């Protein structure tokens, strides 16, 4: 077997008070594909920087084969000091490397090479940095979150490009599908140490769980041994004047072992509080909605109906208009034409993809409490801020830590903690998976699956979309959007290809939410007189019922009503139940006739 290209042995490193790495190893052979996984804050990025030679460890050895070329992609690339993206990429080439490949990669990643680095978006910075590390075709590629800020077409291209390279890969990523596709070896960094499995990331969870179960069994045995020793200490020496100091010392050592043992970090406890349910089934209804900026159509005659409990994913390339469509559906943006109607009693919580909503100088505790005492308002109740922090894997000593020193993953968890404390029956999530570790992603998926309300999700994480959504709205270009039942994989099967342009001949016939640029051919037939009358009168009836439900809900909410007049309270509750049922029936009838009218081309 050939000697490894890169070896890290017994790496130890301490930042601040506690040790971050306490004996981490990493070995990379020619052509190996390694997934480096672990929780946020476990030291993955630091270990990768040690491997790249940018961080000097407190102890341990780094050995690279003579002549081996190693390239490192950081999470936050720095393009300062370069006049153009091409200059930045070509600066990463070695003697004899092909400058044409640098320009080829820039073009493949949607850049010309003439862009000013100071004017680039986060996604464009990531693309330029990828071109820089890929251009030399190095022996070892160290990639820290390479899919961050990339859209689905770029992620698919990057997967294919990396698969075609002969380079060895070490990849940190929260994108499960990306890791499963590319990895052949998994290295798990946990509590400062590494474990290695000669299997791909697809087998990681079963392997990890088996290790943790074995640790728990060993800890249980240790606890039993301590209990036995304590029993001997209390009752086994009552007739003696001198204790057996050897056994006393052993007990102290056992207690020290348990006290200093670095157990696996707990899991995030993530819940979302649902406010009062939306009256009726309707949450959002969009009819022939259009939005343009200048001559460019972002949304063209899009119609959909979103009911309570639906989980809708919005998918498309960067710049396709996903956030615009999201804002149209939630009423944050007015359409140029068409109508958007929201159901009654909607309580919406939005989690945007930026972190700018966090005050960098405010402490973690103040961010959660709003600066008012030590209690966090979670739904209709309260919880002490330290307990709520623990639910999201923050240590008590971090309570006074300013937001600016938190890692990207910690800021993402803080945003989630703050958003999920609010009562909501409509969750609007714009790229919620950014910077989350895999365990937190798992729990966010479970929370969304159990949430009884409605979810609107924008994401480039294919696995996350598959696990969460019930249907996907996909950009088809030129302002056209199509809704497909199921997750990303289901959309792929129906559509025949991933996100991007497709041939018109491959389009499925009239799926729900179709927004073809060509009007549908008129079918023979017409609405009955009763249906025409209902189409005119139902909107007014729906508005009346919504007002009636709101009035009855306000009466029921009076805390004194039940004690003052129980009969009146019961009458109001019964009337509200009937009004909700009538409202749902009216909405369904109107939608049924409206869909029939569209099918007839009237």
Beta strand 140-144 with 70-73: parallel, antiparallel or unpaired? Answer: parallel
Cβ pair 79, 125 in contact under 8 A: yes
3-state class of 84 per DSSP? coil
State yes or no: 3 annotated in a binding site: no
Q: Does 318 show up as a binding residue in the annotation?
A: yes
- Determine whether the annotation assigns residue 317 to a binding site: yes
DSSP secondary structure letter of residue 505: G
Q: Is 39 labelled a binding residue?
A: yes
394 phi, psi to nearest 5 deg: -100, 135
Location of structure tokens 């199509």: 482
**Residues paired with residue 193 on neighbouring β-strands, in sequence order:** 23, 190
d(CA 450, CA 482): 26
Up-side HSE of residue 75: CA atoms within 13 Å toward CB? 14
Residues 61, 71: Cα–Cα separation, whole Å:
19
Strand pairing report for 193-197 and 185-190: antiparallel
Is 321 annotated for ligand binding? yes
Nearest-angstrom CA–CA distance, 291 and 556: 40
Between CA 192 and CA 42 the distance in angstroms is 7
Rounded Cα–Cα distance for residues 247 and 233 (Å):
9
What's the CA gap between 378 and 272, in Å, rounded? 9
Is there a binding annotation on residue 322?
yes
CB 35 within 8 Å of CB 183: yes
Radius of gyration, CA atoms only, the chain: 29
Tell me if 279 is assigned to a ligand binding site. Answer: no
Q: φ, ψ for residue 527 (rounded to 5)? A: -75, 145
578 is in an annotated binding site: no
User: Cβ distance 51 to 9 under 8 Å?
Assistant: no
Contacts 24+ apart (CB under 8 A), 556-559: none
Distances (CA, A) of 525 to 287, 496, 519, 531, 537: 22, 34, 17, 13, 22
367 among annotated binding-site residues: no
Q: Is 38 annotated as a binding residue?
A: yes
Q: Which of 256, 268, 257 lies closest to 218 in space, CA to CA?
A: 257
Pair of tokens at residue 171: 């990849």
Per-position DSSP letters for 396-465, written without gaps between them: GGGTT-BGGGS-HHHHHHHHHHHHHTS--SEEEEESTTTT--HHHHHHHHHHHHH-SSEEEEE-S-HHHH
**Annotated binding residue 45:** yes
User: Residue 453, class by beta-carbon neighbours within 10 Å (0-12 exposed, 13-18 middle, 19+ buried)?
Assistant: buried
Give the angle 501-503-509 at the CA atoms, nearest 5°.
110
| 148 annotated ligand-binding residue | no
* Residue 570 annotated as lining a ligand binding site: no
Residue 286 phi, psi (nearest 5): -115, 130
3-state secondary structure of 292: strand
Nearest-angstrom CA–CA distance, 134 and 89:
9
- Residue found under tokens 């959002």: 284
Q: Which residue has the tokens 């819940």?
A: 271
**Residues pairing with 185 in the sheet:** 34
Instruction: Say how many C-beta atoms besides its own lie within 10 A of residue 148's C-beta.
Output: 20
Q: Which residues are documented as binding site for ATP? A: 38-45, 316-323
Please give the annotated binding residues, written as ranges: 38-45, 316-323
């Amino acid at each position: 077997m050939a000697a490894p290209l890169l070896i890290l042995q017994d790496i130890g490193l301490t930042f601040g008070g506690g040790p971050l790495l306490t004996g981490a190893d990493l070995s990379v052979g020619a052509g190996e594909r390694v997934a480096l996984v672990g929780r946020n804050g476990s030291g993955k990025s630091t270990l990768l920087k040690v491997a790249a030679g940018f961080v000097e460890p407190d102890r341990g050895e780094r050995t690279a084969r003579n002549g081996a070329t190693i390239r490192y992609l950081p999470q936050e690339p720095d393009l300062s000091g370069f006049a153009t993206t091409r200059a930045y990429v070509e600066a990463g080439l070695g003697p004899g490397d092909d400058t044409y490949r640098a320009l080829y990669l820039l073009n493949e990643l949607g850049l010309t090479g003439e862009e000013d680095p100071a004017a680039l978006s986060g996604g464009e910075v990531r693309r330029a940095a990828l071109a820089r590390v890929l251009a030399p075709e190095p022996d070892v590629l160290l990639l820290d979150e390479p899919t961050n800020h990339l859209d689905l077409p770029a992620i698919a291209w990057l997967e294919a490009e990396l698969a075609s390279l002969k380079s060895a890969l070490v990849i940190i990523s929260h994108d499960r599908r990306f890791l499963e596709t590319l990895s052949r070896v998994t290295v798990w960094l946990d509590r400062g140490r590494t474990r290695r499995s000669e299997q791909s990331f697809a087998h990681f969870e079963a392997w990890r769980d088996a290790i943790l179960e074995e640790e728990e069994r060993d800890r249980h045995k240790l606890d039993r041994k301590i209990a036995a020793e304590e029993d001997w200490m209390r009752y086994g020496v009552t007739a003696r004047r001198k204790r057996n100091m050897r056994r006393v010392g052993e007990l102290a050592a056992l207690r020290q072992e348990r006290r200093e043992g670095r157990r696996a970090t707990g899991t995030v406890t993530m819940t979302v509080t649902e406010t009062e349910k939306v009256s009726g089934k309707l949450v959002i209804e969009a009819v022939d909605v259009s939005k343009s900026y200048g001559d460019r159509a972002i949304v063209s005659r899009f119609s959909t109906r979103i009911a309570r409990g639906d989980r809708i994913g919005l998918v498309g390339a960067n710049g396709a208009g996903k956030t615009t469509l999201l804002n149209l559906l939630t009423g944050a943006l007015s359409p140029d034409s068409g109508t958007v109607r929201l159901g009654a009693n909607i309580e919406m919580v939005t989690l945007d993809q930026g972190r700018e909503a966090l005050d960098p100088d405010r402490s973690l505790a103040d961010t959660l409490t709003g600066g008012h005492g030590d209690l966090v308002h979670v739904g209709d109740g309260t919880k002490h801020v330290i307990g709520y922090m623990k639910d999201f894997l923050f240590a008590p000593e971090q309570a006074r830590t300013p937001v600016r020193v938190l890692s990207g993953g910690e800021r993402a968890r803080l945003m989630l903690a703050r958003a999920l404390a609010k009562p909501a029956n409509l969750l609007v999530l714009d790229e919620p998976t950014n910077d989350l570790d895999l365990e937190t992603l798992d729990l966010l998926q479970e929370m969304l699956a159990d949430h009884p309300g409605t979810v609107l999700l924008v994401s480039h994480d294919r696995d996350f979309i598959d696990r969460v959504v019930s249907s996907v709205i996909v950009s088809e270009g030129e302002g056209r959007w199509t809704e497909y039942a199921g997750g990303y994989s289901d959309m792929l099967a129906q559509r025949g290809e991933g996100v991007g342009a497709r041939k018109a001949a491959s389009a499925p016939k009239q799926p729900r939410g179709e927004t073809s640029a060509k009007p549908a051919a008129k079918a023979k037939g017409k609405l009955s007189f009763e249906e025409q009358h209902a189409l005119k009168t139902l909107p007014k009836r729906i508005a009346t019922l919504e007002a009636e439900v709101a009035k009855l809900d306000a009466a029921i909410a009076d805390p004194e009503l039940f004690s003052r007049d129980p009969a009146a309270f019961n009458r109001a509750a019964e009337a509200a139940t009937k009004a909700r049922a009538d409202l749902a029936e009216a909405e369904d009838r109107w939608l049924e006739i409206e869909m029939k009218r569209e099918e007839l081309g009237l």
